[in-house]
Chains A and B, each alone.
Chain A
Amino acid sequence: MNTEAPGRGRTPPEGGPGGDGAVAVGSVGLGAKVPRPRRSTASLLAERALEVAIRASGVSAIVFVLAIFFFIFREAAPVLFSRDFSLPEFLFSTQWYPTSVSNVRYGTLALTLGTLSVTVVAIVLAIPFGLGAAIFVSEFCGPRLKETLKIVIELLAAIPSVVWGFIGLTVMSKLTISLTGAPVGVNLLNGGLILGLMSVPIIVSIGEDALKAVPDSYREASLAMGATRWQTVYRVLIPAARNGLLAAALLGVGRAVGETIAVLMATGHAVHVPHSLLDSVRTLTANIAAELGEAPAGSDHYRVLFLTGTLLFVITFVVNFTADLAIRGVRRR
Chain B
Amino acid sequence: MSLDPAAARFTRTANVARKERAESLARAIFMLMSVAMIIPLVAIVTYLLVRAAPSLSWEFLVDVPRKGMREGGIWPAFVGTLNLVGLSLAVSAPIGVLAAIYLHEYAKDNWFNRVINLAVINLAGVPSIVHALFGLGAFVYAAKFGYSVLAASLTLAIMTLPVIIASTREALASVPMAFRAACWNVGASRWQTIRGVVLPNSISGILTGVILQVSRAAGETAPIMFTGAVFYKAVKRGDLFPFGLNDQCMALSMHLYTVSTQVPNVRESIPYATAIVLLGSVLMVNATAIALRVWLRHRKRW
A160 touches B222 (CB 8 A): no
Cβ-based interface call for B63 (8 A): no
Cβ-based interface call for B295 (8 A): no
Q: How far is the CA of A4 from the CA of B159 in the complex (A)?
A: 28
Cβ-based interface call for A162 (8 A): yes
Chain B min CB distance to A315 (Å): 9
Cβ-based interface call for A54 (8 A): yes
Cβ-based interface call for B221 (8 A): yes
Residues of B within 8 A of A141 (CB): 31, 34
B119 touches A65 (CB 8 A): yes
B165 touches A135 (CB 8 A): no
Chain B min CB distance to A168 (Å): 10
B189 touches A68 (CB 8 A): no
Cβ-based interface call for B246 (8 A): no
Among A93-101, A258-266, A270-278, the stretch in contact with B = A258-266
Cβ-based interface call for B30 (8 A): yes
Cβ-based interface call for A81 (8 A): no
B29 touches A162 (CB 8 A): no
A162 touches B219 (CB 8 A): yes
B interface size (C-beta, 8 A) = 104
Interface residues on A, range: 35 or more
B134 touches A68 (CB 8 A): yes
Q: How far is the CA of A5 from the CA of B175 in the complex (A)?
A: 10
A136 touches B31 (CB 8 A): yes
Cβ-based interface call for B6 (8 A): no
Cβ-defined partner of B191 (8 Å) among A50, A230, A260 = A50
Among B66-74, B82-90, B236-244, B276-284, the stretch in contact with A = B276-284
Q: 1/0 contact trace for B9-40 toward A, CB 8 Å?
A: 00000000001101100110111011011101
Cβ-defined partner of B116 (8 Å) among A61, A133, A297 = A61
A62 touches B119 (CB 8 A): yes
A133 touches B184 (CB 8 A): no
Cβ-based interface call for A86 (8 A): no
Chain A min CB distance to B264 (Å): 14
Q: With A16-B188, A162-B221, A228-B23 as given contacts, are A320 and B122 in contact (CB-CB < 8 Å)?
A: yes
A-side residues, CB < 8 A to B, are 1-13, 16-19, 47, 50-51, 53-62, 64-65, 67-68, 71-72, 74-75, 128-129, 132-133, 135-137, 140-141, 149, 151-156, 158-163, 165-167, 169-171, 197, 200, 204, 228-231, 233, 251, 254, 257-261, 265, 285, 288-289, 292-293, 297, 305-306, 309, 312-313, 316-317, 319-321, 323-324
